[in-house]
A and B are shown apart, each in its own frame.
Chain A
Amino acid sequence: MTVAMLTRSDAAEDDLSLIEAFKAGDEAAFTQLVKKYQQQVFNLLFHYSGRKEDIEDLAQEVFIKVYMHLATFETRAAFRTWLYRIAINVSIDHARKRKLRRMLSLDGLTEWARERVAFKSAQMPSPQIVAEQSDLDQYIQRGLEQLPEDFRKALVLRDLEGLEYDEIATITGWSLGTVKSRLFRGRQRLREFLKPYLEEAE
Chain B
Amino acid sequence: MNAHIPSESLSAYVDDALNATERLEIERHLSLCGQCKKEIDQLVRVKEWLRPQMNYPVPPFFASRLTATLKAQRERSTLTDFVWIAKRLVPGFAIFLAVVWLWSSSQTSDVSSVAEEYFASTDSTSAMALLAQNERDLTTEDVLYVAVLEPSDFE
Contacts and interface: CB of A to CB of B under 8 A. Distances in A.
A137 B17 CA distance: 26
Contacts of A47: 52, 56
A198 B45 contact: yes
Contacts of B17: 165, 180
B42 A191 contact: yes
Given A56-B62, A64-B73, A190 B56 contact: no
A144 B50 CA distance: 9
Contacts, number: 84
Interface residues of A, number: 40
A201 B10 CA distance: 20
B20 interface: no
Interface stretch (B64-72, B98-106, B108-116): B64-72
A43 interface: yes
Interface string A164-195: 01000000000000001101100110110010
A76 interface: no
10 contacts: A31-B63, A38-B63, A136-B49, A165-B17, A183-B15, A184-B7, A187-B47, A191-B46, A194-B49, A198-B42
Interface of A: 27, 31, 34-35, 38-39, 42-43, 45-47, 55-56, 59-60, 63-64, 67, 136-137, 140, 144, 155, 158-160, 165, 180-181, 183-184, 187-188, 190-191, 194, 197-198, 201-202
